[in-house]
Structure 1
Amino acid sequence: MRTFRPLFAALLLALTSLVGVATAQQSGGELTFGVNREADMLDLQVGSSRYDLVPAAQIFDTYLFLSAEGEFIPWLAEEVTVNDDSTEYTIRLRPGVTFHDGTPLDAEAVKFNFDRIVDPATQSAKAVGEMGPYDRTEVVDDLTAVVHFDASYPGFLAAIADWRSGGPNSPTAIRADPEGYRFAPVGTGPFRFVEWVQGSRIVLERNPDYAWPRPQTMHDGPAYLDRVVFRTIAEDGSRVVALRNGEIDGLLRLPPQELAGFENDGNFTVNRATLPGSGVILVVNASKPPTNDLAFRQALLHVVSPDQIARVGYFGAWPAHRGSVLSESNPGFIDLAGTFEFNPERAAQLLDEGGWVMGNDGVRVKDGNRAELVYIGFPSGETTRTLELIQSLLQPLGVRVQIMELESGAIQRARQAGDHHIAHLTFIYTDAHFLRTLFHSENIGTGWNFIQEPDSTLDGMLEAVQIEADPDARAALAGEIQRYMLEQGYVLPTVFQHTINVFGNHVVGAESYPVYGEAPYFYDTYLD
């Protein structure tokens, strides 16, 4: 039996509360944060866009807090106890927590939220993948709930430290307007939702009743800022100009070519982080020619060079990917950089040996199938440069690449339909159990498995890592999955997913959220 108690958090808050007193006179003001892409929705139990988290991280809290050191620290939960086989988790809630609409956070609310995530009617895109073999939630008393699983599920600690599955939403607000809730959420966090002007801005205001800050913050009580405005400025250059001109106070995702200029400018603070999860990878469709051929897929791995992509596509600001489907910041990551070294000659040899014959028009052919690939991904300067580089490297080998850049709804439909040969994918997750959501055969066609080809060997490994409770055994399984997926040519790693946020020096205490990195956390932030 393992128990997670808030001793560390309580001591830290006691030690740092004086900092809040020292800076309390700085309370007030409005911070405007420029984002490159608007959120899809703010109902995190339904949506999957990483951009949803940027404003939502201010609106919602989680049951546990995952520190940068990998420690799970109680937050909305006062204590979490796990039984010996990780099939039961007892959550004892912190008393006195309320949602922005006044609804109390009690055990019934915990049950409502978990049941809602797994309900097929919710159509959860990501949070449901964090719930594993969920069975039910038992309400013991007002502040105690026991979450039951059909099998061992050690990944649930990570799940309840994630906003999508572990950030409770107001049952009252959801029941009142199930459809409208996606665009007007009600959480327990330091800021509450005010308005969303589509295509322009999302506005939040300070929650005056906030009294349960997360561990490792620098003060107690409500946030300092009166309001936070998330302003959508899609064009990179315009976002940079707005920051330099003082129209905005900070920005999300600095274009990598601008990094050196801001790092050498004393008027700004640069926050950088390598994010957990998949990194930026290209998923290969193994169900149709030419990429249904293992030799062809392995030839691609000898040409798609993470080092060159980091240099050309990301101006050296994002680090080259050294694995396959886990980031270097994930537990269980293994370095596979030497498995398929950049070697166009070896790639040509594999294609020759595999029966891919060069045609008169410079395109290889095998069994009537031409070596022509369709890439499907999001429009961005970094990915466009990356694919143009890949085009130039593959063309001399007799392989052509068509680049199709689509918006989020269209891209997901196209990837699920298998319209691609290679597809862009980035996903943030902290635990290897989530690999099942992305790559298990059960998720072909309707979920996130864009490999499109059932693989019972991979399925077995993914099922095993989800339920393995021993940390060393889980790490070994995660390593096997990473190596197998690379050797099968199911993924082409490019760079580790990186975020670069910039603030004017008048913004004090802005930080990237530990572990998840990209989402800023404005609870301790004030304007000087």
Structure 2
Amino acid sequence: MRTPRPSALLGAGLAMLALLGGCAAPGTELAAASRPGTGPGSADSAGGTLVYGHQQEPPCVHGGWIEQGYLSHQVLDALVSLDEDGQVVPWLATDWHESADHLTWTFTLQEGPTFSDGTPVDAQAVVDNIDYWLAGGNGTAQVWIGPYVDSARALDATTVEVALSQPYPRFAENLTQPYFGLQSPAALAERTAEENCRQPIGSGPFTVAAWNRGQNIVLDRRDDYDWAPANAAVQGPARVARVDWRFITDPTARTAALRSGEVDAIYDIQAFEWSALESEGYELHRYVTPGRPQQLSFNTSRGPFADERVRQAFAYSLDRESVVEAVGRGVIPYEGNGPVSRSTPAYSEEAAARYSYDPERARELLDDAGWEVGADGVRVKDGARLHIDFPYAINRTINQDGAAIIQGLQQYAEEVGFEVELIPFPPSAAAAGAYSGPEDYDVSIGYWTSVNAGILLVNWRQNLPDSPNPSNSAFYNDPALEATIREANSAVDPDGQDALYRQAQEYIADRALSIGVYDRLSTLAVGPHVDGIRQENSQGGPVFHDAHLVD
């Protein structure tokens, strides 16, 4: 027997997974209230321990994964920061400028900051970090600046000159991402990789006091800290003495810990809990992450999706918006654009609207591609079933809400004759690189955070033997597409740059290489005994420098 129509399943099944949540618009948002009760920390506004529940434990405190960026941002300062208006503002650098030929960037550093080992944050330290990034010390930093930065040198103790191979007008903006946090050059040179992984030495407001694997990381305040970014609410040392950063994978357990007062704040709020927590008086933050949203990348190198018609059929078969609305209930935004999210500058509405739900069009395309309806409803061609392997990293790339959305998409695709096998796999397998090669999947889901549409080069640069690109999850090599994105990245006219970025997004949509599903969120719920937690503006991670405990 055929299964019931997906719309019926969504109404009966997904609605139970996603109860009514609050509504919020794109960007960084705050819903605040207070409630009576007690929290775990001291009420001393200049001290105490803030207890925070996070959903994932990264392999290192620093690195190229967003979860590492959230942690390292508490420990490693950067040259510049991003304010709430998307403007680059001073941090360790007080000033910067681009040369007339757009091939040299010069940064002037403030005097006085030191790393927690006593090493000065001087120009040579910045040069050493840039060399470290370019050599692959941080893979995400490398993919952002590697195609553009030729070299860096210290002109004097407080002046750094960075030479580019081609113009890169958004260079300073990209440096606001926490992947570009500076480490002590002495630590990089003298300590082991494991020591720097576990306890990196930065110039930030906190130091790593302890890491109890599988349980928590303890961050202690640095009392001599006095160089917070220009957009910080307060200057000087952090207001809490300690942050107990706990790893609580289960979302139900995290929310229960918040309600019981075991923790002061939690990350990653389930959509169905949003309105309840808001009505109970918790302070809620929601940030729609710029960059690549949660999107489906089709494996174009082999299998059914090597045929553009089959990719388009899959796209048309999915009522993505209904699924996201059923699970997200106004908290999780639907996103039709695969290459970039709605909170990313130069977003293309045309690309986002390319594939509306049209199951009849999907069937026509599959007929045209030679896939006939089999006896059990699954399409077949040359004796092979239209089988789709769809792995996803549960509790790493995909949270519980995301898993419910994927299950809803599976039901829609099967209605037109796809046989979709969902393959959830654990964070440990994801960290080891599981399901990342061209033989491992037919379609994948994932995101890449960014502050601008330059993420397109990261995701769509060709994957060639002499210049591999494992971030090209569609395994799609197209020199014309890459050329358009490179031209955009180097365009010095903002309007011309945006037009090129939109052109690339529409090129990707036309060929159904990637389709959007929902915008990736960074969400926080904060208890009544904490004020001043904010979300960092380039990635949405929590910032604890300004936070303090109250009665």
Q: TM-score, normalised by structure 2?
A: 0.87
Displaced runs of 4 or more, over 4 A:
443-446
Moved more, 58-67 or 302-311: 302-311
Give the 3-state SS of the residue equivalent to 2:96 in structure 1: strand
1:147 aligns to 2:162 (yes or no): yes
Give the 3-state SS of the residue equivalent to 1:348 in structure 2: helix
- Distance in 2, Cα, partners of 1:85 & 1:318: 43
Of the candidates 74, 98, 101, which is equivalent to residue 117 of structure 2?
Answer: 101
- Distance in 1, Cα, partners of 2:249 & 2:487: 41
2:471 aligned partner:
448
Moved more, 462-471 or 28-37: 462-471
1:420 aligns to 2:435 (yes or no): no
Shift of 1:86: 2.2
Give the 3-state SS of the residue equivalent to 1:414 in structure 2: coil
Residues 29-52 of structure 1 show CA distances to partners (whole Å, capped at 9, x for unaligned) of 0001001111221232xxx32211
Residues 139-193 of structure 1 show CA distances to partners (whole Å, capped at 9, x for unaligned) of 111111100111111231122212213x211111122223121111111111111
- One-letter code of the match for 2:71? P
Q: Contact 1:278–1:429 (CA<8 Å) still a contact in 2?
A: yes
1:383 aligns to 2:405 (yes or no): no
Give the percent of matched residue pairs that are identical in Structure 1 and Structure 2.
27
Residues 222-272 of structure 1 show CA distances to partners (whole Å, capped at 9, x for unaligned) of 111000011011111111111111111110001111111001112x11111
- Distance in 2, Cα, partners of 1:451 & 1:392: 23
2:335 aligned partner:
321
Residues 80-105 of structure 1 show CA distances to partners (whole Å, capped at 9, x for unaligned) of 01112321100111110101111101
> Which structure 2 segments of 5+ residues have no match?
1-42
Q: Contact 2:80–2:92 (CA<8 Å) still a contact in 1?
A: yes
1:262 aligned partner:
277
Give the 3-state SS of the residue equivalent to 2:292 in structure 1: coil
**1:259-408 alignment to 2 at 5 Å?**
259-266=274-281, 268-336=282-350, 337-379=352-394, 380-408=399-427
1:134 aligns to 2:149 (yes or no): yes
- Distance in 2, Cα, partners of 1:364 & 1:160: 49
Give the 3-state SS of the residue equivalent to 1:499 in structure 2: strand
1:241 aligns to 2:256 (yes or no): yes
- Distance in 2, Cα, partners of 1:208 & 1:116: 28
1:495 aligns to 2:518 (yes or no): yes
Q: Contact 1:432–1:465 (CA<8 Å) still a contact in 2?
A: no
2:126 aligned partner:
110
- Distance in 2, Cα, partners of 1:513 & 1:111: 25
Shift of 1:480: 0.8
2:206 aligned partner:
191
Shift of 1:521: 0.7
- One-letter code of the match for 1:420? Y
2:40 aligned partner:
none
Q: Contact 1:309–1:494 (CA<8 Å) still a contact in 2?
A: no
Of the candidates 416, 426, 432, which is equivalent to residue 453 of structure 2?
Answer: 432
**1:37-52 alignment to 2 at 5 Å?**
37-44=56-63, 48-52=64-68
- Distance in 1, Cα, partners of 2:305 & 2:62: 37
- Distance in 2, Cα, partners of 1:505 & 1:318: 25
**1:155-194 alignment to 2 at 5 Å?**
155-165=170-180, 167-180=181-194, 181-194=196-209
- One-letter code of the match for 2:445? H
- One-letter code of the match for 1:81? H
1:17 aligned partner:
none
2:26 aligned partner:
none
2:539 aligned partner:
516
- Distance in 1, Cα, partners of 2:304 & 2:495: 38
Change (3 A) 1:399 1:366: same
Give the 3-state SS of the residue equivalent to 1:224 in structure 2: coil
Residues 355-394 of structure 1 show CA distances to partners (whole Å, capped at 9, x for unaligned) of 2111223221234443111112111322221221112111
Q: TM-score, normalised by structure 1?
A: 0.91
1:479 aligns to 2:530 (yes or no): no
- One-letter code of the match for 1:227? R
1:4 aligned partner:
none
Q: Contact 1:437–1:443 (CA<8 Å) still a contact in 2?
A: no
- Distance in 1, Cα, partners of 2:273 & 2:304: 38
1:66 aligned partner:
82
- Distance in 2, Cα, partners of 1:85 & 1:409: 47
Shift of 1:74: 1.6
Shift of 1:413: 3.8
- Distance in 2, Cα, partners of 1:200 & 1:393: 39
2:547 aligned partner:
525
Moved more, 334-343 or 243-252: 334-343
Number of residues of Structure 1 aligned to a counterpart in Structure 2: 497
Give the 3-state SS of the residue equivalent to 2:100 in structure 1: coil
> Which structure 1 segments of 5+ residues have no match?
1-23
Shift of 1:406: 2.0
Shift of 1:425: 1.1
Q: Contact 2:337–2:353 (CA<8 Å) still a contact in 1?
A: no
Q: Contact 1:263–1:269 (CA<8 Å) still a contact in 2?
A: yes
- Distance in 1, Cα, partners of 2:67 & 2:81: 20
